[in-house]
Structure 1
Amino acid sequence: MNHFLAVLFLFVHQALSQADEVRKFARVEVGGKVSFGIVEGDRIRLLEGDLFGEWNPTENLVSRSEIRLLAPCAPSKVFGAAGNYRSADKPDAPKPPHPQLFFKSPTGVIGPEEAIQIPRDLARPLYEAELVAVIGKRAKDVPVEKAPAHVLGYTCGNDVSGGDWSQDVQWLRVKGCDTFAPCGPYIVSGLDPGDLDIQLRVNGQVKQKGNTRDYNFTVAETVSFLSRYITLEPGDLIFMGTPPPVDSFNPGDVLEVEIEGIGVLRNPSKRLE
């Protein structure tokens, strides 16, 4: 009996350790084919199966020079959280009654090194460095305490916005333009989303710095609230909000979002002809 209990304890311990293990998943194009992989040092081990279902690692290890990093997933829906950071200038400002959320377009999702395309009639494109939660399991009316189990992991995002149009009745143009949702470079599982440093750089100069501990609403609270009204599917993205200050950038600028434990998302920008 003692031997059985010892084996059982070891099995459970290994299972829990594996569940908590930090892993970096990449979505890549290699040899003209799109695949998911696990980052192992300077190489990527390709996976077979579905990252959002059953998958297994293969023996196929590829170098970075052999692949092109893509957006980490192809979501059916993309959401953003507005005003989700407590302001250092207004520490006593009242917390909103619930998360303030908006839609972004799935066609806004681009990957590392892809260009942010600024519409011809937009004079003030804005940068917004954000942690992005990646849904891993279907979620409908999920309580807060169970919400983390529905999140596969986290990636870097830039909630590019149209500053000229902020007074539009709806934020279709403000948030939903093509290429306005850069994400990457990886989906990282096993991270604690409640204490991560975030930084944004424009042409190498730091413009934003913050930490996710200053959210008004946690990832779990946001997922739970959203799932009351909209079914979240595997691969859906939630941009969790940006630290102040938010400012504009110019066509030709290179924007980098860096989040502790995830990596750097780098995107050039250009004006649409």
Structure 2
Amino acid sequence: MSARYARLQLADGAFYARAEGDSYELLSSAPWEDGVKDTGRRVKKDDAIYLPPSDASKVVAIGQNYAKHAAEMGKPIPVEPLIFMKPKTALNAHGAAILLPPASQEVHHEAELALVIGKKLTRVTEEEAAAAIFGVTCFNDVTARDVQKREIQHTRAKSYDTFACCGPELVTGIPFDDLRVVCRLNGAVKQDGRTSDMVHSPAKLVAFISNVMTLLPGDVVSTGTPSGVGPIVAGDIVEVEIENVGVLRNVVTR
């Protein structure tokens, strides 16, 4: 059965919560943890202050996982998943600002489907990986493209504070092998793809990563972006919409 979760900031701390109609029921712990309980406290959705939907220990992202995006970057389709990491400090919530860094004059949006891991994974099979994906959410893999072009690896270009936009909700119990992924910039569609166009499937990505590093409950795996990436500037409003998942919205500032 499908369910929706969020992570909210309240005056007395951060709480995971389950969507119930026009409200959120606050939970005692992360929804993937054993023994999680309702607290009896509710917050109206209209009053919600969102945090990234998982307090992840790390974000593992995937490069060139859509053939058309690889082509627009002038890169070959990777035989194996091309993985890189974004730090926990880059995580950014729905409704928060994307802060353009002074070091970059060309920052791009990248709309993506992100997976949230529900259990500890080390060297697992694709079948085990698929069973351990707790849910999915919207993700914007914001990238300093000019920095990326100057360097061999992705770390600096992908790791600036606010460059891992995620949320607003984490959705469980839905198929995600063929969902529409759209990015709108100030209302105009810039990216429009489907998760069925991925080169490497979500289960393959998670299994592959688990054979490199241990994935912990709550870790985020972002699965790559369709073609159509492009620049964002101060004052822009960027939206990532994924079919049956939701809309992630951020304003751009410098």
Q: TM-score, normalised by structure 2?
A: 0.93
Instruction: Give unpaired runs (5+ residues) of structure 2.
Output: none
Deviations 1:57-93 (A, max 9, x none): 2432321233311111121111111000122997xx9
1:225–1:70 distance in 2 versus 1, CA, 3 Å: same
Q: Out of 17, 22, 45, which is 1:37 matched to?
A: 17
Task: Supply the AA of the counterpart residue of 2:26.
Answer: L
Secondary structure at the counterpart of residue 147 of structure 1:
helix
The question of 1:161 aligning with 2:143 is answered yes
1:149–1:204 distance in 2 versus 1, CA, 3 Å: same
The question of 1:190 aligning with 2:170 is answered no
1:88–1:106 distance in 2 versus 1, CA, 3 Å: closer
What does residue range 210-229 of structure 1 map to in structure 2 within 5 Å? 210-229=193-212
- Judge conservation of contact 2:139–2:222 (CA < 8 Å) in 1: yes
Q: Out of 4, 8, 12, which is 1:28 matched to?
A: 8
Secondary structure at the counterpart of residue 28 of structure 2:
strand
Task: Supply the AA of the counterpart residue of 2:104.
Answer: L
- Judge conservation of contact 1:86–1:215 (CA < 8 Å) in 2: yes
Q: Out of 79, 101, 109, which is 1:127 matched to?
A: 109
State the superposition RMSD in angstroms: 1.7
1:149–1:253 distance in 2 versus 1, CA, 3 Å: same
Task: Supply the AA of the counterpart residue of 2:121.
Answer: A
Aligned counterparts of 2:236 and 2:13: Cα–Cα separation in 1: 31
Please identify the structure whose Cα radius of gyration is greater. 1
Aligned-residue offset at 1:210: 0.6
Aligned-residue offset at 1:30: 2.6
Counterpart of 1:106?
88
Moved more, 52-61 or 96-105: 52-61
Counterpart of 2:251?
268
- Judge conservation of contact 1:133–1:151 (CA < 8 Å) in 2: yes
Deviations 1:102-143 (A, max 9, x none): 111111101011111111121100000000011110000010
Aligned-residue offset at 1:94: 7.4
Q: TM-score, normalised by structure 1?
A: 0.87
Counterpart of 2:182?
199
Aligned counterparts of 2:208 and 2:180: Cα–Cα separation in 1: 25
- Judge conservation of contact 2:69–2:228 (CA < 8 Å) in 1: no
The question of 1:136 aligning with 2:118 is answered yes
1:192–1:117 distance in 2 versus 1, CA, 3 Å: same
Aligned counterparts of 1:88 and 1:73: Cα–Cα separation in 2: 27
- Judge conservation of contact 2:64–2:77 (CA < 8 Å) in 1: no
Deviations 1:178-226 (A, max 9, x none): 1100000011111212111111111111111010000000110000000
Secondary structure at the counterpart of residue 184 of structure 1:
strand
Task: Supply the AA of the counterpart residue of 2:252.
Answer: S
What does residue range 28-67 of structure 1 map to in structure 2 within 5 Å? 28-54=8-34, 55-67=36-48
Secondary structure at the counterpart of residue 267 of structure 1:
strand
Instruction: Give unpaired runs (5+ residues) of structure 1.
Output: 1-20
1:72–1:50 distance in 2 versus 1, CA, 3 Å: closer
Moved runs in structure 1, 4+ residues, more than 6 A?
none
Secondary structure at the counterpart of residue 249 of structure 2:
strand
1:33–1:174 distance in 2 versus 1, CA, 3 Å: same
- Judge conservation of contact 1:30–1:66 (CA < 8 Å) in 2: no
Counterpart of 2:58?
77
Work out the percentage of aligned pairs sharing the same amino acid: 37
Counterpart of 1:117?
99
Deviations 1:204-263 (A, max 9, x none): 111110100000001100000000110000111111011101111111111000001111
